[in-house]
A and B are shown apart, each in its own frame.
Chain A
Amino acid sequence: MAADRDPDRGEPCIRLRGIGKSFGGVSVLADIDLDIGTGEIHGLVGENGAGKSTLGKIIGGYYSAGAGSIEVFAEQVGTWTPPLALERGIAMMHQELQLVPALSVAQNVFLGIEEERYGVLKQTENARLADVMAASGFELDPAAITSDLSIADQQKIEIMRALAREARVIVMDEPTSSLTADEAERLHETMLRLKQKGTTIIYVSHFLDDILRVCDRVTVLRDGVLVRTADAADETKGSLVSAMLGGTRSETPYPQKAPSEFAGKQPALWVSGLSAPSGVSDVSLEVRPGEIVGLIGLVGSGRTEIVRAIFGADGASGGEVRLNGIPYSRRTPAGSAERGMVMVPEDRRKQGLVMTLPVRANMTLPHLRHYTMAGGIIRAALERTRVKSLIDYFRIVPDRIDGDVTHYSGGNQQKVLLGKWLLRDPGVVILDEPSRGVDVGARQRIHEAIADLAAKGAGVLLISSEIEEVLGLAHRAYLVHEGGLVGEVDPDNATTQDVLWTLFHQDDPNTETARGSAP
């Protein structure tokens, strides 16, 4: 059925037949038949491990298919590698961008396809870039250094790089996972513009709302098998989720919030007038035991900088922090951990896990002094028991105590990271993007764990780029703009649209008077 050609759309630009793939003897894709119509935006959805990224990478030439055939623009392909795919007009945009940070916009766009004569570069780059910008509708300074740009702008470079190579099909693998709502919105506008110019886009994403809004058709994968391909107009979030999960399970988005009776309780975390050279200015907030407090802001608004200054990962230049009423100055990560304040950082691979260590050693790393006897010798039996109980609690797969975290899926790595901090009951937990880039199942489990934490009496400070997630989980939320707090929202009586509107109008002089007040 998926193979049937829709008469409304042109010839399929990509025709997959019987595609299969296995890694180390484990089948991850089986017998996929799929046609991608020319000029459409085609969504690929599924849980982590369902095979959607793998399928995207097979189309882009990054993986070779173990079985089946690929036709591109009605031509059978043989050996299939990224350069060959590019030759036929297929480019891939990765979750982690493949740019050289120290090079300029123009240099990155034309990397590898520079025009030269006898090995000397021709000075034609800016003119060529102007053409690409006109085709894409982007405007970037050609001389800007890539590492100085926002991730959204870097993605534009990546897209322009594809266009400069005359790509007619772009595979985007989770392009919005590190973007805020507004940046994702801008990417979606770009995608629609590219579609109008005739580019085909294969859009792999976890964000079903986005998929439904932007895509023409959606393909759902489950456990490496194609469940169905349908017009996006005929799908709903619920129908996609149930197709992804297999059952008729309806979406149960957020766990029940514990009743909020915090008045009069001593704050677990109390911050007054905090400023830091990293761009934090005059932040005052409090989190009471059992309370989940959100920080909502656009990327670059300073949310992460605020919590890093509270935690002691960055230096502060002024202000006061108290934990359970006790002043805590000269903050360091080590001092915070000793006082029961922990932070789950936003980037699990770079800041969270030690990839060379197994699950067990990762989880107990912050708590070693509680797992040692005289002489610093580790009490291995105690360590194993405790780690095993957390693996069970989070339903981490595989459930091996000494599993190699490098090979774990994003969701399970995130569970290990959370487990590491929940190994001992912390008093204050700072969560920076706890569910970024994880699948539906892991996300739900993580949300339950956050609610559990609060129910056990921890004060939770939650950052998420998904405003809906903060509203769904938090008792209260602060709005963050330019390193400061600019208002507070009641999550039960606010919508994502309200919050976004407020945040987008922070720089608007007409709403200057509204600053500092709750929407």
Chain B
Amino acid sequence: MTSVLSSARIARFFQTYAVLIMIALLIFALSLMSDSFLTFRNLQNILNQNAPLAIMASAMTLVIIGGGFDLSVGSIFAVAGVSAAWIALNVDPVLGLAIAPFIGLALGTMNGVVITTLNIHSFLATIATSMVFKGVAILITDGRLIPVRIAEFTWLGRDKIGGIFIAVIVMIAFALILTFALNRTAFGRKVFSVGGNEEAAVLSGVRTDRIKIATFAIAGMAAGLAAAISVSRISMGQPGAGIGMELQAIAAVILGGTSIYGGSGAVWRSIAGVLLLALINNGFNILNADPFYRDLTTGLIILAAVGISASGQRR
């Protein structure tokens, strides 16, 4: 009887912490294979490079817990990025950085309003708005790149405070704030309830439309913040930036173990998902492995992770 209990408990443990176990195994393997892997410098670089994606994945977690999908964050990233560069060049560099999250917030709110007023699935709505936003980014720049080589602009993506990249600090702070909002506030509870059982939430007096709009607004804002960091780092506004980032963000959320059916999940899981994807990449670089195998390997790992979590949902 106890053995039945404990084996069920072990299975549950593996399901809950699958992503962490995989990260631990990868770190162990990579540190055996290369001396340069397990260094503070390399690890911080990995975090720093992936800070924009981690910020977007954190916010995507809220959208997915709330029962939605946002396929437009890559395009929001592009609009916010080129706007930041244009304003930095033509108005003020700091204003350019500061305004990017607000542009993202506005576009994300638009997504939310479209989804709730037209009452269409977020998947469809954001495919459409994603194209609209992509078009806007090209119109802003006339299809050209906008280089911004000013120190007042590049600090966010490149500088450190006390030996830590500012981007990493921003990413950690953002993830902590979202974690707090999700687990300790009324708003977070309502996000879980909307994704878990929308009808019950409505009948409980939750204004579900407002909650959905809020999750998309936050996802938009995160894309804007990520764009500010990214544009600042490469000192260049590109209308084609951010393509595919929405899928990477969703992959990271799912890899972390947040349910795609909504109603359950956690921000730390998505950060862990981003790290896992990043470590696979880093491993290919360190080992000088054939990059042609990179996508194939990443895809197989995502399949494995989704398979593990799906096996836990069958009762």
Contact = CB atoms under 8 A, between A and B. Distances in A.
Nearest to A308: B203
A334 B206 contact: yes
A429 to B, nearest CB: 13
Given A368-B186, A378-B189, A356 B203 contact: no
Interface string A362-379: 001110110110011110
Interface string A334-351: 111110000101000011
B4 A355 contact: no
Interface in B204-238: 204-207
Contacts of B203: 313, 333, 343, 345, 351-352
B199 interface: yes
Contact of A354 (B1, B2, B185, B263): B263
Given A356-B263, A378-B184, A333 B202 contact: yes
Nearest to B181: A376
Q: Which secondary structure dominates where chain B touches chain A?
A: helix
Contact of B193 (A336, A351, A361): A361
B186 A378 contact: yes
A356 B189 contact: no
Interface in B167-200: 184-187, 189-190, 192-193, 195-197, 199-200
Given A354-B196, A354-B197, A355-B196, A336 B205 contact: yes
Contact of A337 (B2, B199, B205, B264): B205
A371 B189 CA distance: 12
A24 interface: yes
Nearest to A313: B203
A352 B200 contact: yes
Contacts of A350: 197, 199-200
Contacts of A356: 192, 195-197, 259, 262-264
Interface residues of A, number: 34
B8 interface: yes
A25 interface: yes
Nearest to A406: B315
Contacts, number: 92
Contacts of B200: 345, 350-354, 365
Interface in A64-114: none
Contact of A366 (B2, B204, B263, B264): B204
Given A333-B203, A336-B205, A377-B184, A354 B4 contact: no
Given A350-B199, A351-B200, A354-B263, A372 B185 contact: yes
A376 B187 contact: yes
Contacts of A334: 205-207
Interface string B55-91: 0000000000000000000000000000000000000
A368 B188 CA distance: 11
A365 B197 CA distance: 12
A338 B195 CA distance: 22
Contacts of A333: 202-205
A243 interface: no
A357 interface: yes
Contacts of B185: 372, 375-378
A281 to B, nearest CB: 23
26 contacts: A24-B4, A25-B1, A25-B4, A313-B202, A313-B203, A333-B203, A334-B205, A334-B206, A350-B199, A354-B192, A354-B196, A354-B197, A354-B200, A355-B197, A355-B263, A357-B193, A357-B263, A361-B192, A365-B189, A365-B206, A368-B189, A372-B185, A376-B185, A377-B184, A378-B184, A378-B185
Interface of A: 22, 24-25, 313, 333-338, 343, 345, 350-357, 361, 364-366, 368-369, 371-372, 375-378, 380, 420
Interface of B: 1-2, 4-5, 8, 184-187, 189-190, 192-193, 195-197, 199-207, 259, 262-264
Given A25-B2, A356-B263, 11 more contacts: A24-B8, A25-B5, A333-B203, A333-B205, A338-B205, A343-B203, A345-B200, A365-B206, A366-B204, A371-B186, A372-B186
- Closest 7 pairs between A and B when the two form their complex, measured CB to CB: A337-B205, A356-B263, A356-B196, A368-B186, A354-B196, A366-B204, A334-B205
